[in-house]
Amino acid sequence: MHRWTLLASAFALLGLTSVSATPFNPAEFGGRDQGYLVPGVYFTSAADTSAVGLTNTCNAHQVHWVFTDTSGTVQGRGSFTILPTETRPFVLAQALPASAVGRFGTLMFVSDTDGDGKLTSADEQCLVVEAFHADLTRNDAVFLPVWPFNTYDFPGGPGTGINDLSIMVPGMLSRLSSGIEDEPGADVRTIYLRYSIGGGDATRMVVWSAETVTQPLLSLVSQFDGSKAELVPITLPGTQLSVLDVGTLGFPSGLTNGLIAMVAPDDGVGDYADTAGDGNGIAAYTVIESPSLGAAQTILATWSR
């Protein structure tokens, strides 16, 4: 009830039809950091695949990568040398085995600039990363957001990262400070996700959480014209990455185009167990496919307190 009181208060302040909240873009564009997460990537063929561009702003060094699916299982990993000023394409369909076809997952990249096989505070922030999903059959490409991280996001805080990059997995992250954070203790935020499921539209909702969320998250789903708003519990089924087809979430009739206002998972009410006592971090966005427009678009989540 406490959380719903807060959510109701937030909506009372914002007004149901103007839930623009405080626009805040938790993803990163053109920044540099030690590592990057790209959640919600997949491929079905060489002509329908997610792809990443990595640009090196430092000296030549090894970049380690791993792809885990929604259950947290490693479907592929490796490393490559990136040269100074090189922009290197990383195409999922070329990097993963055929057994990973159709699996949504998270790509994780880490720079090892001092070559010790570890991520520590001694590794420079060298990578600039962008991502997209290309569907050559439809002649369409969809922007995919990326989230940077560094040693601050691992248990032990700054200076302590990954002891062995050859076995790294996104599950080692205990927070995501570039995402929507939940601080330890009392701290409640609301995540706003755009959706459209009427008129043949489909919406894919991608939520990555550093901590595994164990409780359904009640959400206020509203129609843009203000005609309807109802509370709907949404379960995040993945260990970290959850990819949901919004059309299957059982929204009441009349909710076809609008906003999902989800109370962010909170350690204070037991939505997750807080690894390392450093709170949580969420990366979230939706991809809306509109056959009537022949296009898909990515919309980043925003949040408010």
Report the residue from 187, 218, 290, 299 that binds Ca ion according to the rule CB under 5 A.
187
Which residue, 72 or 247, has its beta carbon nearer to Ca ion?
72
Give me the least distance between CB of 74 and Ca ion, in Å please: 21
- Give the shortest CB-269-to-Ca ion separation in angstroms: 8
Q: Which H/E stretch holds residue 63?
A: strand 61-69
Site string for Ca ion, 196-235 (x = CB under 5 A): ----------------------------------------
| Of the candidate residues 232, 268, 297, 299, the single one contacting Ca ion (CB under 5 A) | 268
Q: How far is the CB of 154 from Ca ion (least distance, A)?
A: 10
The Cα 279–Cα 216 span in angstroms is: 18
Interacting residue with Ca ion among 28, 48, 69, 123 (CB under 5 A):
123
**Residue 190 binds Ca ion (CB under 5 A):** no
Please answer whether residues 92 and 50 qualify as being in contact, where contact means their C-beta atoms are separated by less than 8 angstroms. yes
Q: Please select the residue that binds Ca ion; options are 114, 225, 230, 245, rule is CB under 5 A.
A: 114
Using DSSP's 3-state secondary structure scheme, residue 29 falls into coil
Token readout for 241 is 């990455």
Is 33 in contact with 127 (CB distance < 8 Å)? yes
Q: Which is nearer to Ca ion, 175 or 204 (CB)?
A: 175
Is 112 among the residues that bind Ca ion (CB under 5 A)? yes
Q: Is 245 in the site for Ca ion (CB under 5 A)?
A: no
Distance from chain centroid for Cα 229: 26
Give the residue, chosen from 174, 219, 240, 302, that forms a contact with Ca ion under the rule CB under 5 A: 174
Q: Is the dihedral of CA 47, 52, 58, 60 positive or negative?
A: negative
Joined tokens for residue 284: 């979230």
32 vs 118, beta carbon nearer Ca ion: 118
Query: Is residue 153 involved in binding Ca ion (CB under 5 A)?
Result: no
Contact 284, 191 (CB under 8 A): yes
Helix (H) or strand (E) holding 241: strand 241-245
* Rounded Cα–Cα distance for residues 138 and 44 (Å): 13
The only residue of 266, 282, 284, 286 in contact with Ca ion, by rule CB under 5 A: 266
Q: Is 274 in the site for Ca ion (CB under 5 A)?
A: yes
Selected range binding Ca ion among 13-21, 66-74, 126-134, 259-267, rule: CB under 5 A: 259-267
* 34 or 196: CB nearest Ca ion: 34
Rule CB under 5 A: choose which of 15, 25, 116, 305 binds Ca ion.
116
- Which residue, 150 or 275, has its beta carbon nearer to Ca ion? 275
Contact 205, 68 (CB under 8 A): no
Among 64, 77, 103, 118, binds Ca ion (CB under 5 A): 118
* Core vs surface per residue 42-78: b (16+ CB within 10 A) or e: bbeeeebbbbbebbbebeebebbbbbbbbebeebbbe
Is 10 strand, coil or helix? helix
Q: Which two tokens stand for residue 259?
A: 């906003």
- Contact set with Ca ion (CB under 5 A): 112, 114, 116, 118, 123, 174-175, 182, 187, 266-268, 274-275, 278
